[in-house]
Structure 1
Amino acid sequence: MNKSILAGVLALALTGCASQQPDQPFTLTLAHVNDTHSHFDPSDARLRLDGTEVYTRLGGHPRLQQYAGELRRQAREADQPLLLLHGGDAWQGSGYFRLNQGAMNADVLSRLQFDAMALGNHEFDLDNERLAAFIAGVDFPVLAANLDAGRDPHLAELDNLRPYVLYAFDGHDKERIERVKDAGRDPVVAVIGLVLEDMPEIAATVGELVFEREVEAAQRTVRALREQGVKHIVAVTHLGLERDQRLAREVNGIDVIVGGHSHSLLGDFSNLGLGEGEPYARLFTNQDGRGRTCVVQAGQHAQAMGRVQVTFTPDGRVSRCEGGNTLLADRVFYRDIRRGEQHRFDDATQQRLAEAVAAAPNIALVEEDPALRAHIDEQYRPALLQAYGQVIGHVPGLLRHRRLPVDGQGSDVAPLVAASQLYWVNTPAVQAVTGRRADFALLGAGGVRTDLAPGEIKEGDVTLDMLPFANALSLVSLTGRQVAGLLLETINASLPEGAHTGKFPYVAGLRYQFDETGRDRGFLRRIEYFNQGQWQRLDPDASYQVVINGYHASGNDGWNTLFEAQQVLTDRIDLAWVNGKLAAFPVARLSRTQGGGVQVHYINQPLDCQADGVRCNTDAQAFVDYVREQRPVLTALPESGVVLNRL
């Protein structure tokens, strides 16, 4: 679509007179998912049912397909309007994505027949050419009202990338229309999309795309739609729960926000041993004090589907907004996460557990859609199984990954990943290339994508699932003051309710204590590094060699201190393989593109991870080598190095 996505479509929308939609009550059902992250197969899960701890599998796209089909059947029989929406981040998260680079996502998501999808931050993880291929390959509109793609050669002309889409309803029957007046007397629902305004700080590949302010772009789009005569407006967003709630308070005229990004499973799931999230379908009063906006989100990894029913008054205001998230469970339960036949509960217990599920309001036993299951198994799964490779170790007990420590419980996995990177960079083979020894490692929690389940660990479990981003490791000099500033910056930004916690810092060879002193802020009480067999205070003025993956080393995802430290000059080295031989790529400095993205200026040959013979996933290889050589029986480290004291 030419220039700003907004400009062309809004200009078309405002030509001619505004349509007069009928004054009549209207009820709309929205089914929704978000942050599915290529979890086409179901995920292992531990639940508590009827007082029993059980292991089963949740979700997966064939199960989403089956459940969505049931919701459509119910809506059709009741002659009620229904939309199926995706809150973004369909990409990344599993080996399927690594092997198929978005093509499988386009194939499978189209089979689910979504009505619209928001652009998530991970949709920008490859390059704009492959993002354009994905958007052109799906049979539903991808929405981002605050994105100006006019200068991008791949995204500028895409008809399927839009600020919003209009649907006219005649009972259950719906028709996608270009103008409100084409609907006649049928009710019209507009679905607008919003992408993160700070995407250039999160994604390294945005090119010349321009991301506008979320609130301003949303209000401008809503105003144009109201002038056209639209009474019912849904925003499908990928901003995170906190920003969705801000949007609801500050923008007048959005009726429902279907969100993503913060992976928030809204609702009380304490009956299943999963804790209590924020309320589902919470209503917020708009800035004008008159309108109300309902906010929903549906967790992560295709494990649940949300369903919200919204009732409007004749003049288009929200009068009721009710619903909930439903976990989609397999019908078989086990006493051990390895789910061997010997771990399966007997038939009587299986029946008792099934009855407990039937009595619960937030979980359902759902079969997989057989056609989609067969399609995945025939077209994609054989290559996935082949790609996982050799066994490198074993996990005796579940190792969980928690992005943000809660009640003293942080990630089991992230400290191991950080330890592996510190170990690997300091091996003789790598030191022969760098000529340096690292003092400690820093790791953003979002770089780790999975737990580690009991059983075998294969290479692909690491390279395709747990650390799928193929990041080159970087070695860079930072002062103690810069390290402390980085920790404060990323910790404080991770504390607010609903915040994106992928930037939270885990460590190896370093330890710190952070004490919260006020709402979402605090100070570092202690910061030490391990030197010559003992812990020593970090010297603010001393220089340290720090190993970080290249994504965060460039200041992405809010690690701004690192960008600022390298704007003029840096001694940073990026590590990758070229034709099977480890090579160092010295960096001169960092800068920002016109669109706000980070540009890495190399001293000699630039590091191009897409070039033939170049392999950049030294972050994942470090973990593979660490497990194989140091920790073949992998358990959690005695200490994570992180103490987070909340008020």
Structure 2
Amino acid sequence: MNKPLLTGALALAVSGCASQQPDMPFTLTLAHINDTHSHFDASDAPLMLDGHQLYTRLGGHPRLLSQANVLREQARQNKQPLLFVHGGDAWQGTGYFKLNQGAMNADILSRLGLDAMVLGNHEFDLGQQHLATFIQSVNFPLVAANLDTRREPALKGAENLYPYVLYAFDGHNKERLESMEDAGGDAVVAVIGLVLEDMPEMVAETGRLRFEQEVAAAQRTVDTLRAQGVQHIVAVTHLGLERDQRLAAGVNGIDVIVGGHSHSLLGDFSDLGMGKQPAYAQLFSNPDGRAKTCVVQAGQYAQAIGKVTVTFTPDGRVSRCEGGNTLLTDGVFYRDIRRGEQHRVSEAQQQGLNELIASDERITVIKEDEALRRHIDEQYRPVLNAAYGKVIGHVPAALGHRRLPGRDGAQSDVAPLVAASQLYWVNTPAVQAVTGRKADIALVNAGSVRAAVEPGELKEGHVSLELLPFANPLSMVSLTGRQIAALLLETINASLPEGAHTGRFPYAAGLRFEFDETRKGAGFLRSLEVRKADGWEKVDANASYTVVMNGYSASGNDGWNTLFKTQQVLTDRIDLAWVDGKLTAFPVARLDKTGGGAIQVHYINQPLNCRTRGVKCNTDASAFVEYVRDQRPLLSPLNDTGVTLNRLQ
């Protein structure tokens, strides 16, 4: 019998009959993924191998399933317990999601054999009813101990949403328990879920949901489980690496944190061209000084799978925690991302690569699961191919997307182009005829750009379904130079700490800035200039500038708090959307917040409801399509992005 999610006082009573756990050491293996973002097909990816930049395809859900089955078989042969968990954000990311609205995610994820998944912030993107349908459709439990659903009609009493779930193990054999009274003498593992406490700031509409403070809810849940006799506790979180580390150091009794949200491929992959993150399976001491918590995370886009093995002392503390992330490649390599037959590596080089990969635990060649590949190709891929529409331009070389500029100066190729497209589009005569205004600056939060752009034909669907899939209206709003500087300082400083959520980092057009990191995770603006007809001039703190950005950012979501503060009393902001094919301006009066912390936009006349029949809000995608078609049909990076970020080494 399933139980609904209850927060505050958790529903399971402490029973004097709770079973005693075995005194022998216990070892648990966790396979884990996170931030898969509807990447059901493999991703084209560059890798450095044997000193050469080569191109292959990484991951995809059929390949994830094959690797998960390999790990399951290893655990079966060794008679070892294994759980397979997802760290959230399965939604968004590709045209598959745009076309199927979460239904395909439920279908494909249910075929992976997951044991639990935490809710990521993007699982809330379509509103509570869509989320409720997803929760009810999957064949594995969703977990969220700090989510209070009691006031939200769509999710109240959801039968597949829990604060935590319990699994009992007899060797490799696993059984889902209703309570500890059913455990017998088997070892029991609790899997608890933790979602972002500031979810209302990140998601447009969270209804009447309440999000509790992460550390307090985690400690309360752990204490409840320990009182019942549970000795092994795994937290599956969607908080980001920095918060996971704080959680590990701030809560007594969590053994392993399996995270998501910051897309952290933990470990050193720099020689493979995939960057260097903090070490996989780091241990953090709990506040009581008695126990330690192990923290892991597995990158993004279904490209890798993590495997961590945890050994416990007889009294339930972690004694060893080790493992790593493994990139999943199809094993086919090209010298050029256009992947023509003439670009294939030679037979001798392929043999050398096979030997190199066989000796490297960070990467493996694995075939896709044939049944899942066939299911995707038959049920979903034909509609996806038809939806991509007309060719709008060509991309000679890959355009990468890096949310936060690196210490080496590398940054996003795509986000500056998105900003340039918005500034271009709102200043075209057709749009100015609707707005009556000219924009000076465009700002783009890095997280709104959801994909790199691969070489070859660029179609409308690549933009609206992959690059800018959120269908955001563009907004125009007046800001003073002082407010612009405050916004940049706020968002850049918030993006710099190790493991921080970097989706809030700002890229720009018509504006250039230089930022110096003066201490770890913080710094100041060295210069801030706006483009004028005769060149660049210093931003005047007291002057007013018209800024264009997507409506999500314009409301102050995702840490762009300065924008919320400036519009609480009065604003001249207008939002732009298509109504029955006609571009329409929606003037905004002010912003406020609901009791739950969600930001509300109050319009002067008719409200903008992007779900209304005949209303299309994706003017952000429209701007990029027109910009490429009219200005840059051969799409290449801008010579100057306007962003200079001087980071400490």
Calculate the TM-score normalised by the size of structure 2.
0.98
Partner amino acid, structure 1, of 2:362: N
2:537 counterpart residue number? 536
1:484 counterpart residue number? 485
Segments of 4+ in structure 1 off by > 3 A? 1-4, 15-19
The SS at the match of 2:152 is coil
1:150 counterpart residue number? 150
The correspondence of residues 387-466 of structure 1 with structure 2, limited to 5 A, is 387-406=387-406, 407-466=408-467
Paired residues in the alignment total 646
Whether 1:596 aligns to 2:597 is yes
Whether 1:303 aligns to 2:303 is yes
CA contact (8 A) 2:513 2:529 kept: yes
* Residues in 2 aligned to 1:11 and 1:5: alpha-carbon distance in whole angstroms: 6
User: How far apart are residue 355 of structure 1 and its match?
Assistant: 1.4
User: How far apart are residue 11 of structure 1 and its match?
Assistant: 2.3
User: How far apart are residue 7 of structure 1 and its match?
Assistant: 4.3
Deviations 1:614-646 (A, max 9, x none): 100000110000000000011111111111112
1:246 counterpart residue number? 246
Deviations 1:239-272 (A, max 9, x none): 0001101100010000000000000001121342
1:606 counterpart residue number? 607
The SS at the match of 1:111 is coil
* Residues in 2 aligned to 1:254 and 1:45: alpha-carbon distance in whole angstroms: 35
Cα distance, 1:176–1:210 mapped onto 2, change above 3 Å: same
Deviations 1:69-113 (A, max 9, x none): 111111111111000000000000000000000000000000001
User: How far apart are residue 451 of structure 1 and its match?
Assistant: 1.1
1:89 counterpart residue number? 89
Unmatched segments (≥5 aa) in structure 2: none
1:348 counterpart residue number? 348
User: How far apart are residue 4 of structure 1 and its match?
Assistant: 6.2
Unmatched segments (≥5 aa) in structure 1: none
User: How far apart are residue 281 of structure 1 and its match?
Assistant: 0.7
* Residues in 1 aligned to 2:52 and 2:533: alpha-carbon distance in whole angstroms: 48
Whether 1:505 aligns to 2:489 is no
User: How far apart are residue 342 of structure 1 and its match?
Assistant: 1.6
* Residues in 2 aligned to 1:413 and 1:532: alpha-carbon distance in whole angstroms: 25
* Residues in 2 aligned to 1:516 and 1:69: alpha-carbon distance in whole angstroms: 45
Deviations 1:93-145 (A, max 9, x none): 00000000000000000000100001101111111110111111111111110
The correspondence of residues 298-377 of structure 1 with structure 2, limited to 5 A, is 298-377=298-377
The correspondence of residues 97-116 of structure 1 with structure 2, limited to 5 A, is 97-116=97-116
Deviations 1:26-46 (A, max 9, x none): 100000000000000000111
* Residues in 2 aligned to 1:502 and 1:487: alpha-carbon distance in whole angstroms: 13
CA contact (8 A) 2:5 2:163 kept: no
Partner amino acid, structure 2, of 1:501: T
The SS at the match of 1:239 is coil
CA contact (8 A) 1:26 1:312 kept: yes
Partner amino acid, structure 1, of 2:180: V
* Residues in 1 aligned to 2:531 and 2:34: alpha-carbon distance in whole angstroms: 41
Deviations 1:317-371 (A, max 9, x none): 1111111100000121111101111211232222221111111111000100000
Whether 1:526 aligns to 2:527 is yes
CA contact (8 A) 1:248 1:295 kept: yes
User: How far apart are residue 3 of structure 1 and its match?
Assistant: 8.7
User: How far apart are residue 544 of structure 1 and its match?
Assistant: 1.1
CA contact (8 A) 1:590 1:598 kept: yes
1:67 counterpart residue number? 67
* Residues in 2 aligned to 1:326 and 1:424: alpha-carbon distance in whole angstroms: 42
2:122 counterpart residue number? 122
The SS at the match of 1:376 is helix
CA contact (8 A) 1:388 1:460 kept: yes
2:43 counterpart residue number? 43
1:219 counterpart residue number? 219
1:628 counterpart residue number? 629
Partner amino acid, structure 2, of 1:6: T
CA contact (8 A) 1:3 1:150 kept: no
> Pairwise CA RMSD of aligned residues?
1.2
CA contact (8 A) 1:513 1:527 kept: yes
Deviations 1:358-408 (A, max 9, x none): 111110001000000000000000000000111111111111111111122
Whether 1:255 aligns to 2:255 is yes
* Residues in 2 aligned to 1:456 and 1:68: alpha-carbon distance in whole angstroms: 34
Deviations 1:408-457 (A, max 9, x none): 22111111000000000000010010010001101100000111111111
* Residues in 1 aligned to 2:250 and 2:441: alpha-carbon distance in whole angstroms: 43
User: How far apart are residue 219 of structure 1 and its match?
Assistant: 0.3
2:555 counterpart residue number? 554
User: How far apart are residue 25 of structure 1 and its match?
Assistant: 1.0
Deviations 1:195-252 (A, max 9, x none): 0111111111111111111000000000000000000000000000011011000100
Partner amino acid, structure 1, of 2:98: R
1:639 counterpart residue number? 640
1:53 counterpart residue number? 53
Partner amino acid, structure 1, of 2:338: R
CA contact (8 A) 2:235 2:254 kept: yes
1:206 counterpart residue number? 206
Cα distance, 1:543–1:270 mapped onto 2, change above 3 Å: closer
Identity %: 71
2:76 counterpart residue number? 76
Calculate the TM-score normalised by the size of structure 1.
0.98
Task: Identify which range, 48-57 or 555-564, moves more after superposition.
Answer: 48-57
CA contact (8 A) 2:95 2:465 kept: yes
* Residues in 1 aligned to 2:495 and 2:191: alpha-carbon distance in whole angstroms: 30
